[in-house]
């Protein structure tokens, strides 16, 4: 009887585990139909670039052919324009450098979207379709800032993808990529959305989608699908210390990409909206100094002369909270919103100024191509002046006239040396220029000394400084 009970218990345990396993499998998404439907619209892109390669001669007495025998034909033999006579011959040859990437078809008459960096500097572009057919492609236009390129092949009746909306994408949602990593065509990888609106260095105008989808070299330019089979992004970058996938992949939102595509089709180039401000993140310490209940918005650190922001009356110290109803939760949200705004169109900006909510209309202008958004020399010697007055633990001197002219201002104090004190605790460094404390301009060291007696003690107050070529705010506490 005991044996029967044990066997019955074992059977029930196995049945329970099997049931739980089936339930778990039932909760996982099935990507098979999505792949079958969309894979034909994903293409492999190969490019060829012809570069000059110097052959022949020798290097430090070692013949070039011997070096390449051991290290291969691509061994980078340094050029020498002064080879001794009789030490070998040299000639210039053309070598074809190939790269691989991915793209996807957005119209049945042959328009294909991929990354700018996939086709940059290419002399020839070949598109290979799922049926192994190959066609030459021409570049309709390309934009480096968003890393989006539009290609065209001469064909009709091509399969196409369906475009979705990144705005409806949620963190934790399943996504799938189809691409050609390392040249392996039609490779499918899956994962989830790890984060949205990621700002990466030197990519101000793209609020990236972060995923843990396996992306490797060759996936660039390929589509990122949601579970309904819609393209929500273009796989563009990875974060890696090894050169391979490490769980951090970044995709361009499809709305940003298609805005670029439509402008390329219409104008042959991309024109972005421009406000004319430098912004910084609102930290918890800064939010306290501005009297806010929580850190949010984009803090205006500087407003450039004769720009839309300056004309509308936006000031340094303003905190932009929304643009046309689009909430600005962090500083990185602002450039993409303004950049995608049509030039000449007014936008409604809500901001916080010295604790009071304000609303103003700003007419967006075109981003200057080579606009230097920061003034100044870029190299400010911290010890141009060796004698200064010690205030708040730092040696201060009035700003020199040449520096004022470069900055386009007529006030400010240079920090000669920072010792222990309130300024050091706020994060002030040698060479910084103090512009304002609690919105009051600083012309002389006496201005700082006078302010100290009037400011509340033990509370964070905003202090505006210039460091390098940028203005920024720091939280100052007067003990």
* Cα 43 to Cα 178: distance, rounded to the nearest angstrom: 9
Q: How crowded is residue 388: how many other Cβ atoms within 10 Å of its Cβ?
A: 17
Q: How crowded is residue 91: how many other Cβ atoms within 10 Å of its Cβ?
A: 9
* Cα 102 to Cα 88: distance, rounded to the nearest angstrom: 43
- Helix (H/G/I), strand (E/B), else coil: 187: strand
The one catalytic residue among 90, 117, 130, 197: 117
The one catalytic residue among 147, 318, 432, 447: 147
* Cα 476 to Cα 437: distance, rounded to the nearest angstrom: 8
At 48, give phi and psi (nearest 5°): -125, 130
* Cα 336 to Cα 37: distance, rounded to the nearest angstrom: 32
Q: Do the Cβ atoms of 462 and 445 come closer than 8 Å? A: no
Q: Is 90 labeled as catalytic in the residue annotation? A: no
Q: Do the Cβ atoms of 232 and 175 come closer than 8 Å? A: yes
Place of tokens 């990236």: 208
Place of tokens 């989808």: 213
Q: Is 326 labeled as catalytic in the residue annotation? A: no
Q: Is 242 labeled as catalytic in the residue annotation? A: no
Give the residues across from 123 on adjacent strands: none
Q: Do the Cβ atoms of 254 and 148 come closer than 8 Å? A: no
Q: Do the Cβ atoms of 132 and 159 come closer than 8 Å? A: no
Best CA proximity match to 218, nearest among 48, 39, 45, 42 = 45
The one catalytic residue among 220, 236, 322, 331: 220
* Cα 147 to Cα 397: distance, rounded to the nearest angstrom: 45
What distance, in Å, lies between the first and last C-alpha atoms of the chain?
A: 82
Alpha helix ranges (H) inside 89-212: 116-119
* Cα 389 to Cα 391: distance, rounded to the nearest angstrom: 6
Give the residue numbers marked as catalytic: 117, 147, 220
């Amino acid at each position: 009887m005991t044996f029967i009970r044990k066997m019955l218990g074992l059977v029930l345990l196995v049945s329970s585990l099997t049931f739980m396993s089936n339930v778990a499998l039932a909760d996982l998404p099935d990507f098979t139909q999505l792949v079958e439907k969309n894979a034909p619209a994903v293409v492999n892109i190969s490019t060829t670039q012809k570069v000059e390669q110097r052959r022949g001669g020798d290097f430090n007495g070692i013949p070039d052919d011997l070096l390449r025998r051991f290290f291969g034909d691509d061994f980078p033999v340094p050029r020498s324009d002064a080879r001794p006579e009789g030490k070998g011959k040299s000639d210039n040859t053309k070598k074809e450098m190939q790269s691989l990437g991915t793209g996807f078809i957005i119209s049945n008459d042959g328009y294909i979207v991929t990354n700018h960096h996939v086709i940059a500097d290419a002399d020839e572009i070949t598109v290979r379709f799922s049926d192994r057919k190959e066609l030459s492609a021409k570049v309709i236009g390309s934009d480096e800032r968003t890393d989006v390129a539009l290609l065209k092949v001469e064909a009709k009746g091509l399969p196409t993808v369906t475009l979705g909306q990144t705005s409806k994408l949620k963190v934790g949602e399943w996504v799938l990529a189809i691409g050609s990593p390392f040249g392996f065509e039609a490779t499918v990888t899956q994962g989830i959305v790890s984060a949205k609106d990621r700002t990466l260095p030197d990519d101000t105008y793209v609020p990236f989608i972060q995923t843990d989808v396996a992306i490797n070299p060759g996936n660039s330019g390929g589509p990122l699908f949601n579970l309904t089979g819609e393209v929500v992004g273009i796989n563009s970058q990875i974060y890696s210390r090894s050169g391979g996938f490490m769980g951090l992949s970044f995709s361009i939102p499809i709305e940003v990409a298609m805005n670029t595509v439509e402008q390329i089709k219409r104008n042959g180039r991309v024109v972005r909206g421009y406000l004319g401000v430098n912004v910084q993140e609102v930290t918890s310490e800064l939010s306290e100094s501005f009297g806010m209940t929580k850190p949010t918005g984009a803090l205006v650190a500087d407003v450039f002369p004769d720009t839309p922001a300056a004309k509308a009356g936006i000031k340094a110290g303003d905190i932009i909270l929304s643009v046309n109803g689009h909430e600005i939760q962090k500083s990185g949200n602002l450039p993409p919103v303004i950049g995608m705004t049509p030039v000449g169109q007014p936008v409604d900006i809500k901001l916080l100024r010295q604790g009071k909510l304000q609303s103003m209309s700003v007419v967006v202008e075109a981003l200057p191509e080579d606009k230097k958004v920061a003034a100044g020399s870029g190299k400010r010697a911290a010890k141009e002046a060796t004698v200064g007055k010690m205030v708040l633990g730092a040696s201060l001197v009035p700003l020199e006239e040449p520096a004022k002219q470069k900055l386009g201002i007529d006030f400010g104090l240079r920090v000669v040396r920072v010792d222990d004190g309130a300024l050091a605790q706020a994060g002030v460094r040698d060479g910084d220029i103090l512009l304002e404390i609690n919105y009051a301009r600083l012309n002389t060291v006496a201005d700082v000394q006078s302010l100290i007696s009037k400011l509340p003690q033990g509370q964070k107050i905003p202090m505006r400084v210039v460091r390098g070529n940028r203005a920024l705010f720091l939280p100052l506490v007067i003990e």
